[in-house]
Amino acid sequence: MYIVSRKIWGVKAYFLFLQKSFCVSIGTLVWRALKERFALNIYQRIKDLAADRNISIAELERALNFANGSLYKWTKTSPSVEKVASVAAFFGVSVDYLLGRDKIKYRHVQDTPEKTSDPVTYYRIDTAGLDDEDVADLTHQLDTYTKFLKEQLRQQEKAGEQ
């Protein structure tokens, strides 16, 4: 009787071991699948954003000073927060959008450039490295161009009314 119960206990123990092992294996598989889906999701979103801007992934990596192939590696490894934030800033989207937690690409910003009268700020031109005279010249040219565009719009509206 002792041997029979020992065999039964051995089978039960082996079954419990298999059951725990199976649960751990399933958990690992689910985790890997979720991780892979997340990684492919972020990479796919970056590819889509790059395609919208007509730039390749390699050009994006060069623009952000990333190593070649580093964005593709995000399908296998988790990227750092700083790198995800820099990609989001490059495209003007939120980090949540890149991570798949937000479906809206671009949000309406309360502080719109329309509220400013400075054309350099309105067009978001980087003037670092320019002296004051160049910035003043750029501002004048942008003002002139803006007036020209407004006049063109008025003429098109008048032509459309006739």
Q: What are 103-135's pLDDT values in tens digits?
A: 777 655 444 445 556 666 666 666 777 788 888
Q: Which of 23-27, 144-148, 149-153 has the lowest mean pLDDT?
A: 23-27
Cα–Cα distance measured from residue 131 to residue 26, given in angstroms and rounded to the nearest whole number: 63
CB contact at 8 A, 38 and 99 = yes
Instruction: Indicate if the pLDDT at residue 10 is higher than 70.
Output: no
The pLDDT mean for the chain works out to: 73
pLDDT, one tens digit per residue, over 73-103 is: 888 888 888 898 899 888 888 888 888 777 7
Distances (CA, A) of 31 to 20, 42, 70: 16, 17, 22
Average pLDDT rounded to a whole number, residues 129-143 = 84
Euclidean distance between CA atoms 53 and 133, whole angstroms? 32
